[in-house]
Homo-oligomer: A and B are copies of this chain.
Amino acid sequence: MTRKTFDAAAIAAHEAGLSAALDAGRRVLAGGGTALDAVTAAVCALEDDPHFNAGRGAVFTYHGTNELDAAIMAGDTRAAGAVAGVMHTRNPVKLARTVMEAGPHVFLSGAGAEEFARDHGVEHVDPDWFATPERWRQLEELKSRKLGWFDSGMKYGTVGAVARDAAGHVAAATSTGGLTGKRWGRIGDSPLIGAGTYADDRAGAVSCTGSGEQFIRAGAAHEICARMRLTGESADQAAAAVLAEIGAIGGVGGVIVVTPAGETALAFTTPGMFRARADSTGLEEVAIFA
């Protein structure tokens, strides 16, 4: 993503979406809620906003469907839930959380994940709910220009949130439509615990966006936590080290991190990353480019 990709109206719309998500998470925490509830609220807001590539407004697959991935993890128990390839669940992050809290497994996929969603009363929508004209245009452009996934400039937009609550617990959640034109049931890093999403009260909570294949190969989110826990690196140091490692294997992207002490990192190797941050001292920040 570059400044050229977005006009003033698009920037304003994305900033408004970020502010709304930030507010949703902050309201939970200000009311004494948990980090887990805060990241759920923030990611739900972004899933419902058609400007972001998650939930409504997700990119289209090669076959013209929207197939959604999400994950959530709690730092206190290291409980986790994730789903891949769902096509009828309005808020995939809520389904991931239901998997974490109500199911025997961590990671469900495809039609089976939606059978679980129905069994557990997670809101079901018609696939049209997710479809937007702009994402369809992007798919058609990718196909007509015979662009690959890796040179389309349309691959980002995954949403994520990390939070630290008053009890000092952290949580992370990530949700995405994946890559425009993805095929073959491709699963990226977002729903993979340890790749795109990880939370551990002994280190921090991490959510990632970017070239998912390299984030998987680096074990990015777990590696950031491992570096903080095993070597004492700060969130900024660990995030920079992992982004450098991802760069060395050909990837770019960004990460957001929060620690139980309240330290945060928002790091990226792309020209920009839609991001927002707030804390109980009044800090409030919404930004896009470097």
A150 to B104, CA, bound (A): 8
> Which residues of B are found within 8 Å of A227, using beta-carbon distances?
226, 230
B78, B107, B184: which contacts A113 (Cβ < 8 A)?
B184
> Which residues of B are found within 8 Å of A150, using beta-carbon distances?
104
Query: B107 and A110: CB pair below 8 A?
Result: no
Query: A219 and B216: CB pair below 8 A?
Result: no
Taking residues whose C-beta sits less than 8 angstroms from the other chain, chain A's interface range is 35 or more
A109 at the interface (CB under 8 A from B): yes
Query: B184 and A108: CB pair below 8 A?
Result: yes
B108, B182, B188, B194: which contacts A195 (Cβ < 8 A)?
B194
> Which residues of B are found within 8 Å of A192, using beta-carbon distances?
107, 192-195
Residue of B nearest to A84 (CB): B109
A137 at the interface (CB under 8 A from B): no
A187 at the interface (CB under 8 A from B): yes
Determine the main DSSP class of A at the interface with B.
mixed
A106 to B106, CA, bound (A): 20
| Contacts of A143-169 to chain B: CB distance below 8 A | 148-150
A85 to B79, CA, bound (A): 23
A111 at the interface (CB under 8 A from B): yes
B80, B184, B193, B216: which contacts A80 (Cβ < 8 A)?
B216
A222 at the interface (CB under 8 A from B): yes
A109 to B183, CA, bound (A): 10
Query: B115 and A187: CB pair below 8 A?
Result: no
A107 to B212, CA, bound (A): 10
Residues of A bordering B, CB below 8 Å? 73, 77-80, 84-85, 103-113, 115-116, 148-150, 182-188, 192-195, 198, 212-213, 216-219, 222-223, 226-227, 230-231, 249
30 A–B pairs (Cβ distance < 8 Å), ordered by A: A77-B249, A79-B217, A85-B109, A85-B110, A104-B148, A104-B149, A104-B150, A105-B184, A105-B186, A107-B186, A107-B188, A107-B216, A108-B184, A108-B185, A108-B186, A109-B186, A110-B110, A111-B185, A112-B184, A112-B185, A113-B185, A115-B183, A116-B183, A192-B192, A193-B195, A194-B195, A219-B219, A222-B223, A230-B231, A231-B231
